[in-house]
Amino acid sequence: MCGRFTLQASELQILKEFDLDQQLEGYQSRFNIAPGQQILSIVHNGEDRKAGFLRWGLVPSWAKDPKIGYKMINARSETAHEKPSFKNLLSRKRCLIVADSFYEWKKTDGGKQPKRISSAQRALFAFAGLWDKWEVDGEEPLFTCTILTRKADSFMEDIHDRMPVILPKDAEEEWIAPVKRHPEEVARFIEKLPTEPLKAYDVSTFVNSPKNEGESCIKPLA
């Protein structure tokens, strides 16, 4: 799964990397982004790329209770096209979720050791995400998202059996293209994506609590 990540890049770096022509109103760099929080995402509105904030934890448009979002922070890419919560979103509501690293917890004899994992080749990247809009009469619309995951590659399998789908740079435009696609076609697209070369190091259990923030989250463990 992917349950925590970071985004410390400057606003200018993000605008340049993702070819955005706008301000990122409300943007702040983060060391410990957790489910239920607002995360920077990018969609294509048919004319341009647009960045904004989505709450992490998908609430499908048909859901009766928005609390379901806390159970839907990730979607398995291998089976998403079969699931009512995700298959229509694969077809038409795909987004980029901007990050520069993520955390995973490796099981050891001494307990779970948190690791910070980042790209070995680039400072910024995007997870493949899905989004939806939930609304009921008398309440503000709720825009939420989920991060797609896949089976761990040879690097990640020593840490965890799953990993987030990180989009290659040349696949980002196709992922968010405002074109309706069959969910199975999208599933095959993800399956064929190469995995990102990664690097990792141990960090303190300080990062375990989503209430903790700051450079202590990413400081290499002595």
Half-sphere exposure of 114 (CA within 13 A, CB side): 23
Catalytic residue among 17, 104, 172, 196: 104
**What torsion do the CA atoms of 221, 168, 134, 54 make, to the nearest 10 degrees?**
50
* Active site (annotated) includes residue 95: no
How far is 20 from 28, CA to CA, in rounded Å?
Answer: 17
Catalytic residue among 2, 95, 145, 217: 2
CA dist 134 and 124 (Å) reads 29
**CA–CA separation, 60 and 78 (whole Å):** 19
Longest dimension (CA), the chain: 53
Residue 166, CB half-sphere, CA atoms under 13 Å: how many? 26
User: Would you name the residues annotated as active-site residues?
Assistant: 2, 104
